[in-house]
Structure 1
Amino acid sequence: MQQLTLLLFERMGLLLLITFILTRLPQFRYLLDRRMDWKTGVTFSLFFGLVSIGGTYSGVTVGPGGIDSSILAVSLDPGEAMADSALIGIVMAGLLGGVAVGTGAGILSGVHALWMGGMTGMAEVWSTPIIGLLAGLVARFFAEERVIAPVKALFISVFAPILQMGVILIVHESSPAAIEMVNIIGVPMVIANSIGVGVFVTMILAALREEERAAASETQRALHIAEMALPYLKQGLTFQTAEATAYILRRELRASAVAVTDTEEILAHVGIGTKRHVPGERIRTELSRKAIESGDIQIARVKEQIQPHHPSLGAAIIVPFRSGGQVAGLIKLYYQSVRQIRPVEEAFAKGLSKLISIQLDIAMAEQLRDLMKDAELKALQAQINPHFLFNTLNAIVTLIRVNPDAARRVTVQLGSYMRMNLTMTQSPLVPLYKELEHLHTYLGIVKIRFEEQLAITCVCDPGLESVSIPPSTLQPLVENSINHGLKGKTDRGEIRVELRRSGDVVIVTVDDNGSGFSAPLLDKLGDSPADGSESTGLGIYNVNRRLINLFGPAARLRLTNPPEGGARIAFTIPYQADERRETIDEGHDS
C-alpha cells in the first residue's frame, strides 16, 4: 500500500503540471467567473474529461500478479484494476463548472474506463457521472465563493474515491477478488485524489491572487500616468501639451517612442524616429485611421504597418481616447519588437484609454459648468431695475423745469452709474472700494429724489479696500430697503450699511427702520423671486444667487427682523487682503 501511494503521488505530479499550465490560460476565467453557456459547458466537460483520462493513463496497474509500474497502459485484463488520480478532474469539473460540467466530464471518463476494461470498468461507468453530479450539487452551497477553499475541497474530495469503491463492491456483489482489490487501491486513491484536489484548488487561488496583484499594480500605474498627463490634455490638444504628454508616457512606460495625435495630424513624437515624424504631419497609417473611426485599440505587429517606419521600431499599440463621446486623438506606443507587447501592455493600454477619456469628459463637464455659471452671473449682473431707471428719468424731467442745475447733476450721475454698472459686470468679482463707489453714485441720485426724507450711513472698517465682492451687491440691497422696507413710512427713514471684519470673513449688514419683512417673505425671499404687491424680490434673489455661486452656501443672504424693529439683511464674504490700499470714507450721510 505504501509503495502504491508513493507511485500515485509521483504520477500525479504530471497532472498537477498540466493544472499549472491550465491556470495561466485566459479562457479558464469563464469557469471562475461562472459565465457559463452551453458552448462553454461542453468545452469544459471535454477538457476536464480529458484531464481525468490523463489521470487514468498516469495511474498504476494492479492485478493478481502485483503492481505493474509501467506507464500508459492501453487495456486491462479482467482481473486487473487501475489505481489512478482520474477523480481529480471529475471533482474539479463539478466544483468549478457545476452539475452539467461535472456530469459531462464524469460520463466521458466512465466511457473511457469501460473501454479499457478490467475489474473496475463497469463500476466507473456508473460512479464517475454520479461523482461529477454530486460535486456540482455541493458547489451550489458555496456559490458565493469564487473558488472553494482548499480545505473544503480536500474534505469533499475524500468521499469521491470512497463512493467509487462502494460501487465497485456493488457491481461485483462483494466478491473476494473485488474486496481484495478495494483493500489494495482504496486508501492510496483516497489520499492521492483528495490531496490532488486540494493542491489543484491552491494553485488556482495562487494564480488568481497573482492576477489580482498584477491588475491592481497596472491600475495604479495607469491612474498615476493619467493624473500626470491630464493637466496637459485638459488645456487642449496643442503641440506643446501633446509633447509634454508624450514625454511623460515614454518615461513611465519605457517605450521606444511615443506619439500623440489629434484626429488629423501628428502633434508630438518623442523617442526613436523623432526626426522622421514632424509635428504637423498628416496621419497616414491605415491602422491609425481605423482606430479613429472605430474607437478601438489597434496593434501594429509588423514594421510595414508603421509608416513612415524606423528600422528600430517593429511594433506599436495605437490607443484612441475620447472627449465628449467622440474620438479626440491617439496615443501611439512604439516598441522595438512585437515580443515587447505582452497581454499586460494591451490591458494597460485599454485601461489608459478609458481613464484618459473619463478624465477628459469630467474636465469638459467642469468647463461647461463654469461657462454656464459665468453666463448666469453675467446675466444676473447685467440686470438693472427698470423702476429705478424710469423714476430717475421722471425726476430729471421734473427738475428740468424747476431746477436745471440739479437736473444736470442727476443726469451726469446717472451716466456715471450706468457706465460703472457696465464696466463692473465684466468681472465676477471687484474690489470693495469699487463697489462702494458704485453705491455712492447710486445714493447721489437717490438723494435728489428723497431729499431730507432719507438718511443713509455707510461704515466700513479700514483695511477692507481690496476685499473681493460680487459687483452690484450692496446697491440692490439698499434699493430694496428704500423702495419696499421704508414704503409707507411717514417719518424719516434710516438705512445703515456696515462692513466689519471678523477673523477670516467680512460681515456685511444692511439695516433699515422700516416695517420689516412679512412672515411669508422671510421663508422664500432670496431663494426665488417673490410675487405679489409687497415686493418683486428680484434684486435680493440675484444677489443671493451670485453670492452662493461664487462663495458657496455659507455666503447666502440672511434675512431677519431685529427685536428693535425694522429689517436686516446680512451676509459674509471671505477676507482676502493684499498690499493694495486705497482710502474709503468711514461714513457717508445723505
Structure 2
Amino acid sequence: MLDLFILMMERVGLIILLAFLLVNVSYFKRILENRKQISSKVILIIIFSLFAILTNFTGIEISGNKIVPSNFLTHISENTSIANARTLVISVTGLVGGPSVGATVGGIAGIHRFFQGNGQGSFYIFSSFLIGLISGLIRLLLIKRQWQNKAWVYALVGILMESIQMAFVAFFSGTALAQMIAGPMIMVNGIGTFIFMSIINITLKQEEQAKAVQTHDVLNLAAQTLPYFRAGLKRESSQAAAEIIQRYTKLAAISITDKHQILAHVGAGSDHHIPEIEVITELSKKVLQSGNMLIAHSKEQIGCKNPNCPLAAAIVIPLFAHEKVVGTLKMYFTDETKLTYVEEELAEGLATIFSSQIELGEAEERSQLLKDAEIKSLQAQVNPHFFFNAINTISALMRRDTDQARSLLLQLSTYFRGNLTGARQTKILLSQELQHLAAYLELEQARFPNRYQIVVENNEMLNSALIPPYAVQILVENAIKHAFANRKENNVVAVMITSQNNTLILQVSDNGVGIKSELLDQLGKKAVISERGTGTALENLSQRLQSLYGENGKLKVRNKENGGAVFTLELPLEFKGGEN
C-alpha cells in the first residue's frame, strides 16, 4: 500500500505541476473568468479531457497483488488493472466547469479507459460520467452556499468521488483489487483535489486582487484627468492629461489626437510624433473613420512612416462625445510582448471614462450659454461633493467587493449621464428622473448600508410626463441629509407620484424629526443655511418652478402630525410631444 501511495503521489505531482503551469497562462485565466460561456466550456472540456487521458497513460499497472513496473500504458494486459489519477481530474473538472463539463470529460475519460483495457471494464464509462456529473452538481451547491473558496471542502469532494469509483471497482472487478488500491487512491485523490483546486482558487483570487488594485488606480487616474478632459481636446489640457496617463500606466508612450492633428505625445517617439502636426499613422486614421478600437502588434500595422520609430505595438481607442468620434487615445509599446489582454481591457475602460469626461466638459461649456441660471447653479452644487463622495465609497469597496464596486461605477455613470441631460434641458421625462434617482440612491446606500429605506410609488402611465431635472432627487436628498439627524435606523423616505385634474403631484415624505416651525415658511423662498448644506437647493428648485410654470408650479412644505415632513411639488401635467 505504501509503495502504491508513493507511486501515485509521483503521478499526481506531474498533474499538479502541469496544472500550475496552465493556470498561469493568461488565456486559460480568461477561460476560467468566462467559464459560463459555451466557447469557454468547450475549451475546458478539451483541456481537461487531455489531462484525464494523460492520467490513464501514466497509471500504475497492477497484476494480482503486484505492481507491474511501467512508465506509459498505451494498453492494459488481460486480467490486470491500473491505479491512476483519472478520478481526480474528473472531480476537478466538475468543480471548475459544472455538471455539463464534468460529465462530458468523465464520459470521454471513461471511454478512453474502456478502449485502453481492450474492451474490458465498460463500467468505467458510466462511473466516470457519474463522478463528473456529481462533482459538477456539488460545484453549484458550493456556490449557492458560498463555500467555493473553502479548500477543505474540495478535499472531501475528492475523497467522496474516489470512494464512488472504488465502489464500482469492488462490484465489477472484485473486492480484492478494491481493498488493495482503495486506501492509497482515496488519500491521493483527496490530497490532489485539494492542491489542484487551491492552485486555481489562489490564482483567480490574485487576479481579482490585481484588478481591484488596477481599478483603484484607474479611479485615481480618472480623478486627476477630469479637469483636463473637461477642458476639452485642446493642446495644453491634452498634454497634461497624457503625462498623467503615462505616469499611472507606465506605458512607453501616450498620444492624444483630435480628428485632425496630434494634440499631445508623451514618451518614446516624441521626436517625430509632434503636437500640431497632422495625424500621421494609418492606424489612427482608420480608428477616426470607423469609430472602433484597433490593435497593432507590429511597426508595420502602426503605419508610422518614420523608419527609426521605436514604437512596436499600439492600442488606438476612439474618444466619443455625443456619440460622435472627436479624437483618439493611443497607448504605445516598444516591446510588443507587453501588449496583453489586460492592457486591452484597461484601454477600453480608460476610453469610456475619458469620453464621458470630454462629454461632460462639452455639456458644461454649453451650459454656460443657457439662460436658465437656476439649472447652472444647481449643476454646480450637485456635481463636486457628490462625485468625490462616490469615488471615495467605490475606492473603499475595491479591496472587499469588486462586483459591487463595478456596479457602483455603472450607477455613477448613469448618475452623471442624468446630470448632463439636466444641464442641457429644462424639462426631462419622469422616467429619466427616476433612473437618475435610482443611481443616486444606490450610491448613497453603499455609503450608509441599511440606514435608509426608500419607497417609490408611481403610476407607470406618468413615466412620459415632463418635469424639471432633479426635482424628485433634490427632495429625496434633502430628506436623507436633514430629516433624521443622527438616527441610524428606521429612516423611511416615501416618494409618491400621482396626477389629479391635469396636475402632476410629486410628493416626498419622511418619518424624521420634522422641520422647525420658524423655518417652514422660509423653505423654498430663501436660502436656509444648515450644518449640512448651503440651503440653496430648495430655493433653486422653487425658482425654476416659478420661471417654468409661473403660478402653476408650486412647492409646498408641511410637518406630519406623527413626526416627519412632507414636500409636495405641483406641476401642470405635460407629456412629451405636447400632450396633456
Conserved 8 A contact 2:233-2:358: no
2:304 to 307, 310, 330: 307
Percent identity of paired positions between Structure 1 and Structure 2? 30
Conserved 8 A contact 2:29-2:204: no
Query: Are 1:23 and 2:23 counterparts?
Result: yes
Conserved 8 A contact 2:139-2:148: no
Alignment deviations for residues 282-336 of structure 1 (CA, whole Å, 9 cap, x no partner): 2232211222233333222222324233432222222322222322221222222
Moved more, 99-108 or 290-299: 290-299
Show the counterpart of 1:262: 258
Show the counterpart of 2:340: 342
Conserved 8 A contact 2:230-2:360: no
Show the counterpart of 1:109: 109
Show the counterpart of 2:49: 49
1:316 to 310, 314, 317: 314
Show the counterpart of 1:479: none
Residues 236 and 140 (structure 1 numbering): CA distance in 2 closer, same or farther, change over 3 Å? closer
Query: Are 1:247 and 2:249 counterparts?
Result: no
Conserved 8 A contact 2:288-2:325: yes
Residues 317 and 250 (structure 1 numbering): CA distance in 2 closer, same or farther, change over 3 Å? same
Conserved 8 A contact 2:293-2:318: yes
CA RMSD of aligned residues (A): 3.4
Aligned residue for 1:236, secondary structure, equals: coil
Distance in 1 separating the partners of 2:344 and 2:213: 14
Query: Are 1:158 and 2:165 counterparts?
Result: no
Show the counterpart of 1:389: none
Residues 90 and 266 (structure 1 numbering): CA distance in 2 closer, same or farther, change over 3 Å? same
Show the counterpart of 1:66: 66
Conserved 8 A contact 1:120-1:168: no
Show the counterpart of 1:293: 289
Distance in 1 separating the partners of 2:186 and 2:367: 68
Residues 59 and 292 (structure 1 numbering): CA distance in 2 closer, same or farther, change over 3 Å? same
Conserved 8 A contact 1:60-1:83: yes
Q: TM-score, normalised by structure 2?
A: 0.61
Distance in 2 separating the partners of 1:271 and 1:41: 42
Residues 308 and 360 (structure 1 numbering): CA distance in 2 closer, same or farther, change over 3 Å? same
Alignment deviations for residues 13-52 of structure 1 (CA, whole Å, 9 cap, x no partner): 1111222233234355555555243x54444333322211
1:221 to 209, 213, 217: 217
Larger radius of gyration: 1
Aligned residue for 2:122, secondary structure, equals: helix
Alignment deviations for residues 260-286 of structure 1 (CA, whole Å, 9 cap, x no partner): 110111112233333323322222322
Distance in 2 separating the partners of 1:64 and 1:557: 90
Distance in 2 separating the partners of 1:230 and 1:258: 17
Aligned residue for 1:356, secondary structure, equals: helix
Distance in 2 separating the partners of 1:323 and 1:184: 72
Q: By how many angstroms is 1:59 displaced?
A: 2.0
2:536 to 549, 552, 564: 552
Amino acid at match of 2:287: A
Conserved 8 A contact 2:279-2:285: yes
What are the within-5 Å matches in structure 2 for residues 59-458 of structure 1?
59-64=59-64, 66-117=66-117, 121-144=121-144, 145=146, 147=148, 149-172=150-173, 178-304=174-300, 305-309=302-306, 310-368=308-366, 371-372=369-370, 374-375=372-373
Distance in 1 separating the partners of 2:17 and 2:99: 26
Distance in 2 separating the partners of 1:233 and 1:209: 34
Conserved 8 A contact 1:60-1:67: yes
Distance in 2 separating the partners of 1:365 and 1:547: 30
Moved more, 49-58 or 191-200: 49-58
Residues 42 and 341 (structure 1 numbering): CA distance in 2 closer, same or farther, change over 3 Å? closer
Amino acid at match of 1:35: K
Conserved 8 A contact 1:32-1:146: no
Alignment deviations for residues 176-205 of structure 1 (CA, whole Å, 9 cap, x no partner): xx3221122111110111111111111111
How many residue pairs are counted as aligned between the two chains? 392
Distance in 2 separating the partners of 1:14 and 1:75: 20
Aligned residue for 1:62, secondary structure, equals: strand
Distance in 1 separating the partners of 2:254 and 2:40: 40
Alignment deviations for residues 552-581 of structure 1 (CA, whole Å, 9 cap, x no partner): 1476799xxxxxxxxxxxxxxxxxxxxxxx
Q: By how many angstroms is 1:254 displaced?
A: 3.0
Q: TM-score, normalised by structure 1?
A: 0.60
Q: By how many angstroms is 1:546 displaced?
A: 10
Alignment deviations for residues 515-546 of structure 1 (CA, whole Å, 9 cap, x no partner): xxxxxxxxxxxx9xxxxxxxxxxxx99x9599
Amino acid at match of 2:133: L
Distance in 2 separating the partners of 1:88 and 1:354: 44
Residues 267 and 2 (structure 1 numbering): CA distance in 2 closer, same or farther, change over 3 Å? same
Residues 159 and 296 (structure 1 numbering): CA distance in 2 closer, same or farther, change over 3 Å? same
Conserved 8 A contact 2:51-2:89: yes
Amino acid at match of 2:116: M
